[in-house]
């Protein structure tokens, strides 16, 4: 997008405008969107500051990858420092130190550090934590100046994007559980420094048509509240477990049985509320008040991020409260346990502190390191594979590429085949599945079959391009430049047999297949023959 090679132009403040109504057709024609994309698919985010930073990065640093990631590390350091300032404002130096270590080493930072486009999470966290710090001081000593400072900091956080909406949970928790002695009107006014920037942000977001629609990966609570509510319980339990147990995104997946997720989530909630009760009784009044709003804030910060498929990268705001409560439990169990006359409570806090210390100080950094190594290896392999394909393809820019079966990288590869990021003339992905069978019917026709009870593209909440509700019936047709698509047969999973009729002989296209080890060039079968494409 920065180089201008994306099929549709974007300005420096709008690099997170991936798909909208105005250019959906162009992206579909060029093949940046697959044939099964929802007709109303929209994925557009209002993130002006991270967008401008990415634009400046590439203008000033070019392709110097180390410097680009160093910039992201600077934002991680800033977010951790801002969290430390907030912890120090409300807790003792020792507790603040414990909490800062928990927050800084959490696996939720790995993706924003490894994936430059996800830096907006760190940007929002940095200004969001500073805004919360200003808000805490404003509530303690109200004045117009402190209110304006809090509002300005929240407004700056919203320039980082929708991640800032998670801080609503902490502001609400402060007023509901931390301001019971004050009148309701006073509490409502106290929330104004957050509420006003939030309303302005949401109004601009709506006016620009930002948000998500037609996607299974995203469930916009404003555009599609039904889909959001349907997926919210599972996503909530997944994120809670990932936050408190320092898990990666591969431990709990869409294949995790609902009963197991419910059992684990229920047990965790029981332990959380029991731990909160025990720890609260050992704290002085000011510390107990801060611990209470941080606890509830960690929970109430999650609803905004339930709009997307669960991942630790969404947990930055929630980890503020998780880190604070974990630090308090560890501190009380290790340094104040002798003061507690209740032996059962001492035992509970001792075991809880042991589990939390291991989880956040041992398991979390190891998980973060392993995830970072995984992303680096994946990126290196992808780059090497793209370079190899670039050498084998005589002229990637003018090629008409057909991907028989893609897995995930097929949506990024078009921009990696040339040094300047120019995608091929046309890019067609026929399926996104596991094993597929290709049957050549004639010179220009290919029939793709998925295994029994499988679909040629993923269904459910993991499908970025089409939601689960708007299914494709048998007999549906799709006309795209150079190709006519007919859905021959469907099952409960989705389209199982699909016919592709090309305007030109199949041999005139460049054929690719994606496997777990990368992409490889392939050839279509001879007329009247079939060719399997297993996942290897």
What does the pLDDT look like over 288-347, one tens digit per residue? Answer: 999 999 999 999 999 999 999 999 999 999 999 999 999 999 998 888 766 667 778 788
Q: In the chain, which residues have pLDDT < 70?
A: 179-181, 183, 337-340, 535-536
Same domain (yes/no): 365, 420: no
132 shares a domain with 247: yes
Which positions ≥6 away from 91 have C-beta within 8 Å? 99, 287, 290, 324, 327, 328
Q: How far apart are CA 112 and CA 521, in angstroms?
A: 32
Q: Torsion over CA of 71, 77, 79 and 80, rounded to 10 degrees?
A: 160
Q: Final residue of a domain: which of 348, 376, 404?
A: 376
Domain presence at residue 14: no
Measured distance CA(411)–CA(429) in Å, rounded = 9
Dihedral angle computed from the Cα positions of residues 82, 88, 91 and 93, in that order, rounded to the nearest 10 degrees: 130
pLDDT at 536: 64
Regarding whether 496 and 360 lie in a shared domain, the answer is no
Q: Do 369 and 262 belong together in one domain?
A: yes
Strand partners, 280: none
Q: What strands, in cross-sheet order, belong to the sheet with 211-213?
A: 17-19, 42-44, 211-213
d(CA 135, CA 291): 16
At which of 341, 376, 411 does a domain end? 376
Would residue 42 count as lying in a domain? no
- pLDDT (tens digit per residue) in 364-419: 999 999 999 999 999 999 999 999 998 888 888 888 999 999 887 778 889 988 88
Q: Please give the residue range of the domain that contains residue 409.
A: 394-533
Q: Tell me: do 266 and 240 sit in the same domain.
A: yes
In whole angstroms, give the CA distance from residue 462 to residue 435: 18
Cβ neighbours for 445, distance < 8 A, ≥ 6 positions apart = 499, 500, 501, 502
Residue 301 and residue 412 in one domain? no
Residue after which a domain boundary falls, among 376, 410, 438: 376
**Residue 30 resides in a domain:** no
Cβ proximity of 407 and 374 under 8 Å: no
**217 in a structural domain:** yes
- Please check whether residues 350 and 478 belong to one and the same domain: no
Instruction: Indicate the number of domains in the chain.
Output: 2
In a domain, 493, yes or no: yes
Strands 426-429 and 400-403: parallel
Q: What distance in Å separates the CA atoms of residue 256 and residue 250, rounded to the nearest whole number?
A: 10
pLDDT of residue 243: 96
> Contact 126/386 with Cβ under 8 angstroms?
no
- Determine whether 4 is exposed, middle or buried from the number of CB atoms within 10 Å of its CB (0-12, 13-18, 19+): exposed
Q: Please, are residues 375 and 116 in contact by the beta-carbon 8 Å criterion?
A: no
383 lies in a domain?
Answer: no
Cα 150 from Cα 194, distance rounded (Å): 8
Q: What is the pLDDT of residue 194?
A: 96
Query: 416 and 371 in one domain?
Result: no
Would 216 be classed as within a structural domain? Answer: yes
pLDDT value at residue 340: 65
Is 485 inside any structural domain?
yes
Same domain? For 162 and 217 the reply is yes
H/E stretch holding 469 reads none
């Amino acid at each position: 997008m920065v180089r201008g090679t994306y099929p549709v132009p974007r300005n420096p403040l709008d690099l997170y405008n991936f798909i909208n109504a105005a250019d959906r057709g162009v992206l579909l024609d060029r093949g940046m969107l697959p044939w099964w994309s929802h007709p109303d698919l929209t994925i557009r985010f209002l993130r002006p500051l991270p967008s401008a930073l990415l634009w400046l990065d590439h203008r000033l640093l070019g392709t110097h990858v180390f410097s680009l990631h160093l910039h992201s590390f600077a934002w991680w350091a800033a977010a951790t420092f801002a969290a430390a300032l907030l912890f120090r404002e409300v807790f003792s130096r020792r507790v603040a130190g414990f909490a800062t270590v928990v927050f800084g080493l959490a696996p939720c930072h790995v993706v924003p550090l490894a994936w430059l486009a996800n830096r907006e999470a760190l940007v929002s966290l940095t200004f969001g934590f500073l805004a919360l710090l200003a808000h805490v001081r404003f509530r303690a000593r109200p004045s117009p100046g402190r209110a304006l400072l809090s509002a300005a900091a929240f407004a700056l956080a919203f320039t980082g994007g929708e991640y800032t909406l998670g801080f609503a949970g902490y502001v609400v928790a402060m007023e509901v559980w931390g301001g019971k002695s004050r009148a309701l009107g006073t509490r409502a006014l106290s929330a104004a420094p957050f509420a006003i920037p939030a309303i302005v942000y949401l109004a601009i977001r709506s006016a620009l048509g930002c948000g998500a629609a037609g996607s299974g990966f995203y469930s916009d609570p404003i555009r599609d509240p039904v889909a959001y509510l349907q997926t919210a319980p599972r996503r909530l339990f997944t994120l809670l477990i990932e936050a408190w147990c320092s898990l990666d995104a591969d431990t709990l997946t869409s294949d995790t049985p609902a009963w197991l997720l419910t059992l684990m989530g229920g047990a965790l909630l029981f332990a959380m509320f029991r731990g909160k009760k025990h720890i609260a009784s050992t704290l002085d009044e000011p510390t107990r008040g801060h611990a209470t709003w941080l606890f509830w804030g960690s929970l109430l910060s999650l609803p905004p991020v339930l709009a997307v498929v669960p991942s630790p990268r969404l947990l930055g705001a929630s980890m503020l409260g998780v880190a604070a409560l974990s630090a308090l439990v560890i501190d009380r169990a290790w340094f104040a346990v002798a003061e507690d006359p209740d032996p059962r409570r001492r035992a509970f806090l001792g075991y809880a502190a042991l589990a939390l210390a291991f989880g956040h100080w041992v398991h979390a950094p190891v998980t973060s390191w392993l995830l970072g190594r995984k992303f680096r290896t994946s990126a290196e392999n992808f780059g090497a594979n793209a370079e190899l394909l670039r050498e084998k393809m005589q002229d990637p820019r003018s090629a008409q590429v057909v991907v028989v079966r893609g897995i995930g990288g097929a949506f990024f590869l078009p921009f990696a085949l040339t040094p300047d990021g120019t995608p091929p003339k046309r890019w067609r992905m026929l399926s996104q599945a596991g094993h597929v069978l290709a049957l050549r019917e004639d010179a220009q026709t290919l029939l793709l079959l998925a295994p029994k009870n499988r679909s040629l593209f993923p269904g459910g909440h993991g499908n970025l391009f089409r939601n689960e509700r708007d299914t494709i019936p048998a007999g549906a047709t799709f006309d795209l430049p150079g190709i006519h698509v007919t859905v021959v047969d469907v099952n409960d999973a989705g389209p199982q047999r699909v016919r592709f009729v090309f305007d030109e002989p199949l041999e005139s296209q460049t054929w690719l297949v994606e496997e777990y080890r990368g992409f490889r060039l392939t050839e279509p079968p001879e007329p009247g023959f079939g060719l399997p494409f297993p996942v290897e």
